[in-house]
Structure 1
Amino acid sequence: MELILQSLSGLTNFALYFIVSIALLFIFKIAYAFVTPHDEWKLVKEDKSDAAAIGFAGAMIGFSLALASAATNSTHLVDFVIWGIVALLAQLFAFGLLRFTFMPMIAERISNNETSAGIMLAGMSVAVGLLNAACMSY
């Protein structure tokens, strides 16, 4: 019984970090939708756009990778939130970088349901998330 109680001693910290992670993921969804000129939710839910779903899923995965690294490497909850915000900003930067340099028509192509554009957006988002996560392992 003591082993079980000892194992569950971290449950409070797990719950706190998990709840904050879900909140940060929700904030990311709102911030990402605000930064992108197309409405991902409308494109995915109403128009059933594969390109928007792929691109948005990649952005969420990329952010979650960096957020996971922030949770792993943070020393306390406030530290985690600060690095979670850094991860959020890095993902938004990745979209801006793709949109204004490599693929200036990315938003229009996503709106037109061009799957290749969604794949490129997802790939860039996951790549930035991985780099972001690695850089947080200070």
Structure 2
Amino acid sequence: MSEQLVTHGLIAFFSHIAAAFVLLAVFVVVYIRITPYREIALIRAGNVAAAASLSGAVLGYCTALASAIANSVSLVDMCFWGVVALVIQLLAFGVARLLIPGIVSDIPDNKIASGVFLGALSLGLGMLNAACMTY
């Protein structure tokens, strides 16, 4: 393998992983800002429902983001689809609020079923989102 190919590959790897970390950080910040409860504080206090819901959201987003990385034709393309994935994950929270209106009080109250449901919904939508990103 030529040195030029290795260098090009390393540049592509580091640019994509750096962009992915930035997109993931942006997703987490936006997600915890749109929810009316403080996930990080709840998780630190041992709230399993908050941990399950946030974990599912992060896993769902990372699943879609991984597909965006694998299927993109450029760094800009990957970032565009990463933003699309972010919007879809935020919609998952909105759908959960419609299906279970009390979810915004259930999670701070550590109602594990609600946290697991939100986490599973987020992961499921992330998987569907990832599958739709193949082109």
Counterpart mapping for 1:115-134 below 5 A: 115-134=112-131
TM-score (norm 2): 0.94
**Higher alpha-carbon deviation: 7-16 or 118-127:** 7-16
Residue among 84, 95, 107 paired with 1:110 = 107
Deviations 1:28-55 (A, max 9, x none): 011101111111011111x211110111
Counterpart mapping for 1:25-44 below 5 A: 25-44=24-43
For the residues of structure 2 that align with 1:80 and 1:39, how far apart are their CA atoms? 30
For the residues of structure 1 that align with 2:7 and 2:113, how far apart are their CA atoms? 46
Counterpart mapping for 1:66-105 below 5 A: 66-99=64-97, 101-105=98-102
For the residues of structure 1 that align with 2:4 and 2:123, how far apart are their CA atoms? 38
Q: 1:8, CA displacement in angstroms?
A: 5.8
Deviations 1:68-122 (A, max 9, x none): 01111111111111110000000000100111x2111111110001111111011
RMSD of aligned Cα (Å) = 1.5
1:50 counterpart = 2:48: yes
Q: 1:11, CA displacement in angstroms?
A: 1.1
% identical equivalent positions: 39
Residue 16 of structure 2: aligned partner: 17
SS of the residue corresponding to residue 78 of structure 1 reads helix
Structure 1 regions of 5+ residues with no counterpart? none
Q: 1:7, CA displacement in angstroms?
A: 5.1
Q: Partner amino acid for 2:103?
A: I
Q: 1:9, CA displacement in angstroms?
A: 4.2
For the residues of structure 2 that align with 1:25 and 1:125, how far apart are their CA atoms? 15
Residue among 130, 133, 136 paired with 2:133 = 136
